[in-house]
Amino acid sequence: MKYIVILIIVLYCSVNTFAQLNPQSKQITQKFFPEIETLENTTPALQKNKGFTDYDDLMLFLNNLVEQHPENIKLNFIGKSQKGYQIPLVLLATQNTKEKIKVWMQGGLHGNEPASTEGMLYLLDKLLNDSKYTYLLDDIDLAIVPMANIDGYLKQDRYAANGLDLNRDQTKLMAPESVSLKQAFSDFNPEIGLDFHEYRPYRKDFTQLSDFGITSLFDAMFLYSGNLNVPENIRTLTDTLFVENARRILDKNELKHHDYISTGKYGGEIHFNQGSTNA
């Protein structure tokens, strides 16, 4: 059976934004997330004192990897952003003849969620340069679009240059970036697709639930195939196989996770909404 599973993974934002914090926020972050200090500074934004990965940083980082690992990595471009930036697609594989699972990953579809792009770059470095992880490429063919919405990303803005939310444009394909992504996704024809996002730990509504302002308990939240238009067997498989495996690994590493929830206020009450149920 050929199946495609789309997972949206939402990452807690402190990883990437740590360097950007003011001293007081930095203290709070250090207190509650001391492990962030142990991140290796392997990606452009983690190497900077200020600012995020810009387009030149991104291309330099990717071209360096291609130079160091020409046998394992290929750099393609799938189209242009509305402002004319070529959108890079990184293809990773080892040269064995084993049948592999094809996995698609993308980050930066929302331009103001930089942990998603930086996470992709961190992963690329790990898969190519860290012997603890390189074996993974024996079993998967991986396609990564690290910065899907380049115009938005460069302004740290959620939307594409024409004001569209690209994460709400996957059916109508009104933005050229959406067409390029869809075409490249179909050409690659993956079994699994992952789309990385980022959320703020601080949410106004949550402050009423505890004494402390930083709110979200979770290191990762999953938003996956909840819409009833998705065939039930795919929804079940996603939950019981792919997400379950990810949950288990997060548990093992003492990281907290949950299905994606957001809050809204209705008649003075806070309601928790489960994500991924609309079309």
Binding site for Zn ion (CB under 5 A): 110, 113, 197
Q: Is the Cβ of residue 48 or residue 200 nearer to Zn ion in the bound state?
A: 200
CA dihedral for 167, 199, 50, 158, sign (positive or negative) = positive
Long-range contacts of 216-220 (CB under 8 A, 24+ apart): 216/12, 217/256, 217/258, 218/12, 218/256, 218/257, 218/258, 219/11, 219/12, 219/250, 219/255, 219/256, 219/257, 220/9, 220/10, 220/11, 220/12, 220/246, 220/250, 220/255, 220/256, 220/257
Q: Is the Cβ of residue 113 or residue 151 nearer to Zn ion in the bound state?
A: 113
Q: How far is the CB of 244 from Zn ion (least distance, A)?
A: 23
Q: How far is the CB of 117 from Zn ion (least distance, A)?
A: 11
Q: How far is the CB of 113 from Zn ion (least distance, A)?
A: 5
Measured from the Cβ of residue 56, the count of other Cβ atoms closer than 10 Å reads 9
Phi–psi pair at 195, nearest 5 degrees:
-120, 115
Q: How far is the CB of 178 from Zn ion (least distance, A)?
A: 15
Q: Is the Cβ of residue 44 or residue 108 nearer to Zn ion in the bound state?
A: 108
Q: Is the Cβ of residue 69 or residue 158 nearer to Zn ion in the bound state?
A: 158
Q: Six-digit token pair at 29?
A: 């972050």
Q: How far is the CB of 116 from Zn ion (least distance, A)?
A: 7
For residue 223, the one-letter residue type is L
11 in Cβ contact with 198 (< 8 Å): yes
89 in Cβ contact with 148 (< 8 Å): no
Q: How far is the CB of 245 from Zn ion (least distance, A)?
A: 23
Q: How far is the CB of 132 from Zn ion (least distance, A)?
A: 29
Q: How far is the CB of 197 from Zn ion (least distance, A)?
A: 3
Q: Is the Cβ of residue 197 or residue 257 nearer to Zn ion in the bound state?
A: 197
Query: In whole angstroms, what is the distance from residue 41 CA to residue 61 CA?
Result: 13
Q: Is the Cβ of residue 92 or residue 185 nearer to Zn ion in the bound state?
A: 185
Q: Is the Cβ of residue 73 or residue 164 nearer to Zn ion in the bound state?
A: 164
Q: Is the Cβ of residue 73 or residue 197 nearer to Zn ion in the bound state?
A: 197
